[in-house]
Structure 1
């Protein structure tokens, strides 16, 4: 059934394209309602149930500079949704017996044991408990994009706390820490391994490291008109997101920002995934249920381990608690900090409202991607997930 369902008023949905299956018209209504009225930015939402697409919608403006409309193949920078992709890869390797979550990282990456890190486990990395939320070194923009300089810095660095005893968001270091384990075990970087395992076989338009041939489909980042005030450069979160000032966050128009072609083309597996909504939702559907009749990537037992709560509450060093809960590598349901469908939902959000998750109880793969960042009070993903929940009953 197309999105212009007879039960719905055309005036509300004329700004969007795509379709919603029977019983999912409320998702189309919610999507039309979250698109910006001023045309500054756009987005897409996709939903799979039991491995088959039931919602595929897009709308708004992909490029406000040219007026280019959002199209079915438009992709956006989805920031930390990359962590969810990286975590899918790690859990697949665990399932295959190639990685043990409770083994030291140094089993797979021997050089990492330096400076008192011999007991840091893979699980510590996935749960933001490794004690390495920031790098100590002064890296350049080029260093951050080159992989090896960051990896070598993390090898030499001592943890900020006894690993496992506290947590703080490893905003970008998460990706190199988990990603180097993936690289040592598989011989491929996370972005390449994702393409080998899921992206290419399933035709998913999702990348960590955007190929040059795909740049034409990108919706440029649109920063919020009323941004959330950021603390100073010495603050732990700012240091984490900027790699001590080597990057500008979000930096849509900066030569060293997240929106630059050089940053998007590199592999930063905690912060620079680029995807369509269909691609991200498809990846989680493949993990949770299997896609198009194929076996699921992650077994029920693997998901049970992944969603077991590992981290919540006050973080190091200032005791801030944003209400989030973590399994191993994934956000787990903790409204309103991160809303999904229930206790078996696993996924990750990204700056600017992007979010994606799977749920094997509801048989779902879901994603919302957008080019327009919104400041305080951004509830777009929450409203879409609420509509999905209502449709699923």
Structure 2
């Protein structure tokens, strides 16, 4: 799925297609010998969790338990509970990859998010940064001041504008916000990802609605709360790709990488180097951006984004990211939509003086 995203203080996105596919070649047959014991355990854990995620496609026919009413009395509608649950399952799967705790979800923040989505749908909001906070939009007479104010606040979180007749899975929408690979606010801006991977956030509300007359599918992730911003971060540094093991499928050729700092300020744009530790090939990152404190609302005092340059990414390879003079970390790629095979060891009995040894190469 290809998305355009917009960011104002924190977030927005537009779905243009419905397929997510990496752009790099990979050998599908992978065995545990490619990973350390701890890496293999992590890979199997995440592969198992990924397989359990719901892949239901949602469209205007099955999104709601109760459809919105764009008239007096205004009703933002009620979502299928599975859509909300699946959205949060994906959010928390990606947070777990980043070493972050789950976010909670409750009726109050879901209701607010649904009001936000319902109001966006009521005004047929354009794919624009101005959808955040409903800037420049006139309140329809059938929407109360209370609901309008709620929508203004809820739409300061992530917004997704889906432009497709086929609908999408809840996971596709969350994944596109995580990848943040075509942000209207500018190349390399990953504010949507920063909200999803906030080191301070504790909860998120989910809302969605189809436009009153434009057929556009609006999704809202209500996740900007003052009390969360003031919390102590659960991690000082959050990276994408994630430290440790990271899904190969998420790294499309146009997906920016990022490192967020919760307790550090960076006043320069450093050089970044990426090394394939499996082949010992090294490349300098390109399009390095320092977003400073732009993601403060997501809980970060500093944020760097960059592209891996000309370095080829290969499944099972281990990589080192060096932000010169600031931070270094490593990760190994794995395929989340697969099953790591058990490495079979062959016992060879040795004769007294000689032994026949068999070697097997694992790719």
* Shared fold per TM-score greater than 0.5: no
Structure with greater strand share of residues: 2
Structure with greater helix share of residues: 1
TM-score interval w.r.t. the shorter chain? Answer: under 0.3
Q: Which has the larger radius of gyration?
A: 2
